[in-house]
Structure 1
Amino acid sequence: MAYSIAPGSLALSRSVLDRAADRRRDDDWLEKAWAAPETQVVVVAGDKIQVVDDRSALRFLRPSEAPEGLRIFLGIDRESGAGMTAEGRAVFGVLVSGDGDESYGGLRELGAVLDDREAGIAVHLIGLSNWHAVYTHCGNCGEHTEVAEAGHVRRCPNCGLSHFPRSDPAIIVLVTDDQDRALLGRNEAWPAGRYSTLAGFVEPGESLEAAVRREVLEETGVIVGQEVEYAASQPWPLPASLMLGFYAKATNFDIDVDQDEIAEAKWFTREDLRVLIEAGTMALPGAISISRRLIEGWYGESLSGSW
């Protein structure tokens, strides 16, 4: 296999902000940073983040303009050229209740238009927002947890256990056969003509390569051999996944779908994809997804026809 994902092409894997984790416990520094007029604040409601009127960028507020809510320190913009100290400009998020109005946008909409800095801020903040919404009580004793370390820890006041934001590892893989055809599947809930790569969560005690082989076999009956090559990763905080992309080579090619998650799977040549997409009878994952980039890495160029 000689496929690859173009560097920088994954819309949600780009980040330039220094998260400055060492500052999360420094309350004095955090208060000074919040008071600095150069500091920027982004507001998030659920899994949506506030944007400018034309929806092309995040809306940044001054601390004095920010609404009441849970304050999250996101990091330091060391490339800004301005800031409260020589360190750079601090960036915070504020979590507010509700789902947001028309001034908010989601990652699927914004991922393809945000620049590297803003894409990194968005996935960081939305991931934390989803985590705080769910992990409000201690899993050990049931006590309501308290927010600590600038929004990156929830600590139990009863048993003292610290809870950290989680990312659930999930493999996503484009499998090819001995004729260099690509194996794509269709979820049962999707309309006819929508296809994507195969994916699934990594189980406890399982390597990533083993997860690739298991998921492909479970969903399609296809056996993957020793050729499993890592391609790239993409955070997908909807609500808390980290997608780990692979290319893999099959050793048998008969398809027997599970009829649970996968309703249909097929081997496609590059010509098959071209013809079906041009005819409007096939749609691929959206441009921000790692699935789309895996397919295009195999195909050799960009494709149209997203959903």
Structure 2
Amino acid sequence: MNAVEISDGLLGPLLLARNAIDRSAALRGDEEWLVRAWAAEKTRVLLVHEGRTLISRFTDGAALVLMSPGEAPEGTRYLLGVDDDGVPYFAVRAPLPPEATGEVAGLREAAVLLDDRDAGLLVYAVALEAWHDTHEFCPRCGSRTNITTSGHTRICPEDGSQHFPRVDPAVIMLVRDDADRVLLARGPRWPEGRMSVLAGFVEPGESLEHAVAREVLEEVGVVVTGPRYMGSQPWPFPRSLMLGFVARAVTTELRPDEEEIAEARWLSREELAAQVESGELRLPGQVSIARRLIETWYGSPITTADD
């Protein structure tokens, strides 16, 4: 894939950016409708606990283990939406019953197996659970907040302030030089051989394009130009939104920040393919936007031993 194609193209559907139901925001505060929906046998419920749920595997994929409201254990309910057939979907935040049918799985391993509906439901449920885990108390006065609007708002009983699910924007960028080599790097806590593209959080008062240039310069000392947006996907570990870019390197000398980067290298397509095949290089997982950025530059999907 040449420079024009990658710069002007988009990443296409991303595994964690899929959705097949209407989120039905207008129904979240409709108490009468919520009571009726929870009493309806057609309503489907998924369980979520510490980012994990139950799935059923089959030959070429998997599906969420969904149950009726009557089968669901007690727990905090989140309305996830309604599908085209009028079926409501809820998540219940509760420990996964040991006697339940299905395999316990987290989002990273399950997303590659699930269809669009189930992947979207699980991403949504995991993201809401992660937010509630860290936002039980009012940031103004410290009082414990109450959950309202089907898990989409927390209200402080003392000062009346409302708090909504938080999303932290982060840029993730594939940098390549004029020889069309890609820049990959490894964090200090990553195992040997595991490398990815660069990424970092957007700072207050900063544009996405400036964040791309700043992060690359800070992490590896490379000056880039022409950041081009390619696509985005949620990354609820715990609450990021990854915004993918490609950018061209103006300089190529690598000066890694030792606190952020343990190793960085430029790779041609031939070098990347050889190192992946030998096991010297391990790429990000298939659910990540990082993997899609690398494969878009490479020109085709890449099969690794971890897949």
Scaled by the length of structure 2, what TM-score is found? Answer: 0.93
Q: Does 1:74 align with 2:73?
A: no
CA distance in 1, matches of 2:156, 2:271: 56
Instruction: Provide structure 2 residue ranges, at least 5 long, that are not aligned to the other structure.
Output: none
Q: Does 1:117 align with 2:98?
A: no
CA distance in 2, matches of 1:233, 1:19: 19
Contact 1:195 1:285 in 2 (8 A): yes
CA distance in 2, matches of 1:154, 1:279: 50
Displacement of 1:189 in angstroms is: 1.6
CA distance in 2, matches of 1:264, 1:246: 21
Cα distance change on mapping 1:99 and 1:167 into 2, 3 Å: farther
Displacement of 1:57 in angstroms is: 1.5
Residue identity matched to 2:178: D
Find 2:66's aligned residue among 38, 60, 67: 60
- Listed one character per residue, the Cα deviations across residues 171-225 of structure 1 (whole Å, up to 9, x for unaligned) are 0000011111101101112222221000011000000000000110011000012
Matched residue pairs, number?
297
CA distance in 1, matches of 2:223, 2:16: 31
Contact 1:49 1:104 in 2 (8 A): yes
Q: Does 1:15 align with 2:19?
A: yes
Aligned position for 1:39: 43
CA distance in 2, matches of 1:53, 1:64: 24
Q: Does 1:30 align with 2:34?
A: yes
Percent same amino acid among aligned pairs?
47
Instruction: Provide structure 1 residue ranges, at least 5 long, that are not aligned to the other structure.
Output: 82-87
Residue 14 of structure 1 aligns to a residue whose secondary structure is coil
Aligned position for 1:95: 93
Residue identity matched to 2:25: A
Cα distance change on mapping 1:209 and 1:100 into 2, 3 Å: farther
Residue 234 of structure 1 aligns to a residue whose secondary structure is strand
CA distance in 2, matches of 1:253, 1:214: 15
Spell out structure 1 runs of 4+ moving beyond 4 A: 97-102
CA distance in 1, matches of 2:90, 2:216: 41
CA distance in 2, matches of 1:171, 1:98: 34
Contact 2:11 2:293 in 1 (8 A): no
Residue 174 of structure 1 aligns to a residue whose secondary structure is strand
Cα distance change on mapping 1:135 and 1:127 into 2, 3 Å: same
Contact 2:182 2:267 in 1 (8 A): yes
Contact 2:53 2:96 in 1 (8 A): no
Cα distance change on mapping 1:306 and 1:162 into 2, 3 Å: farther
Contact 1:287 1:306 in 2 (8 A): no
Task: Name whichever of 277-286 and 18-27 sits farther off.
Answer: 277-286
Matches within 5 A, 1:246-261: 246-261=245-260
Cα distance change on mapping 1:182 and 1:135 into 2, 3 Å: same
Contact 1:195 1:284 in 2 (8 A): yes
Q: Does 1:147 align with 2:153?
A: no
CA distance in 1, matches of 2:96, 2:158: 29
Task: Name whichever of 289-298 and 259-268 sits farther off.
Answer: 259-268
Contact 2:130 2:238 in 1 (8 A): yes
